[in-house]
Amino acid sequence: LAGGQKFGAFQSYIEQNKPQYAIIRYGAADAIKNQDPQTTLQSVQKMVDIAKANGATPIIVGVSELYGAQNSKTGNIAGYIDPGAEKRANQINDGLKQIAQNAGVSFTDVRSSTSAGKGDLLDGVHTNADFGKKMADAISEDIAAKNVIAEAKVPQLPQNVDSLSNKEKGALYNDLISQ
């Protein structure tokens, strides 16, 4: 959706599958690619509108932490993370809170509920499996605490998720999203 892309895949999925909820976690890539935060927020607003128009309750998740090399296993993702990226990420995160408030929907601020440590981010943005689970747990717990979903289920990942093959991880992912 960044850069003015259309909402086809998101909109088609919502219209065809009629989910009860639509979790919208969006903005980190735009922040690191120097996208104007207002353009990003307009995209999220459009997704919220599409979800609501099709009977889905949007749940907005904030922008995760961004780091250059300090907490990263392999350093800065393709050299994208500049000093302005964190500022843009904060602007997007603040705007997401406002969109959620205006739309009367839930917002989970992962920046305040999780904190990346050394090696938790693979490239300054993307989480390793353990930190990804920590973030997913924080999101699930926040949603459950707010009673957004009547019977929120916290997915249980196997302890050895890092040792799974890509094929096994793909199958696990498909199982989790189908729950």
Please return the burial class of 42, using the count of CB atoms within 10 Å of its CB with bins 0-12, 13-18 and 19+. middle
Regions of the chain with pLDDT less than 50: 1-4, 69, 71-72, 78, 152
Specify the amino acid at residue 16: Q
Give the phi and the psi of residue 104 in degrees, each rounded to 5: 70, 35
Q: Which residues contact 154 (CB under 8 A, 6 or more apart)?
A: 137, 140, 141, 144
Task: Provide the pLDDT for residue 4.
Answer: 47
State how far the Cα of 134 lies from the Cα of 140, in Å rounded to an integer: 10
pLDDT for the residue 150: 61
Q: Where are the beta strands (DSSP E) in 5-160?
A: 21-25, 57-61, 106-108
Q: What is the pLDDT of residue 2?
A: 42
Dihedral sign, Cα of residue 109, residue 86, residue 74, residue 26:
positive
- pLDDT, residue 162, reads 75
